[in-house]
Amino acid sequence: AITDHYSEGGAGGPKRMGPSQLPKYLSSLEGLGALKGLEVDIIEGIGPAISRRAAEGFQVLIGGLHKLRGISFWDDPTPILDPRRFADEVREALVAAIESGLINVVAHPTWLPESIRADADRLIDASWAEDLARAAASKGVAIEVSGRWRVPGEEFIRVCLRHGAK
């Protein structure tokens, strides 16, 4: 599959393709023999930042949570006063995106913002992993394993496999 970053309504920032660019992007994928895809931003309280109509032209939609409470998950050292609650909100946003029926894959599910990333193993516990794995398995949604970011960890992957998540 070929997937580029996309967000409707400018929610994802300047490095995201928007709706006006979709026709050209789809056309550029014709004849390549690859699945047509997008990585769409997951927006807190909204879900995947793509309309059902726009999603129809694609075989693979990856949902990635890149920002929560205005805190970017990359290059943003903003302190998080309640890391446990923040991690729970990450889980809630990912589960809601899965349940939307719009995405086929969850990108970097255990990646957290810079200020709490070192505590990920403590914040993303067994019940957190179980909730996400159950939701993914029930909707046939795959979990991305990122070699670059080394997420999720092996135990999280085992939980996903135990629940039948891809």
Mean pLDDT over 137-153 rounds to 94
What token pair was written down for 109? 């599910």
pLDDT recorded at residue 157 = 96
Q: 35-39, 86-90, 119-123, 148-152: which has the minimum mean pLDDT? A: 148-152
pLDDT in tens, 73-116: 999 999 999 999 999 999 999 999 999 999 999 999 999 999 99
What token pair was written down for 72? 């970017």
Q: Give CA–CA dist 117/123, Å, rounded.
A: 9
Q: Give CA–CA dist 70/1, Å, rounded.
A: 30
pLDDT recorded at residue 8 = 83
pLDDT recorded at residue 16 = 84
Q: Look-up: residue for tokens 């032209």?
A: 57
pLDDT recorded at residue 149 = 87
Helix, strand, or coil (residue 30): coil
Contacts from 17-26 at CB under 8 Å and sequence distance 24+? Answer: 19/54, 22/54, 22/57, 26/57
Position 9 confidence tier, pLDDT thresholds 50, 70, 90: low
pLDDT recorded at residue 144 = 96
Neighbouring CB atoms inside 10 A of 53's CB total 8
Q: 19-28, 132-141, 156-165: which has the minimum mean pLDDT? A: 19-28
Q: At what angle do helices 154-163 and 126-139 cross, to 10 degrees?
A: 40
pLDDT recorded at residue 61 = 98
pLDDT in tens, 25-36: 999 999 999 999
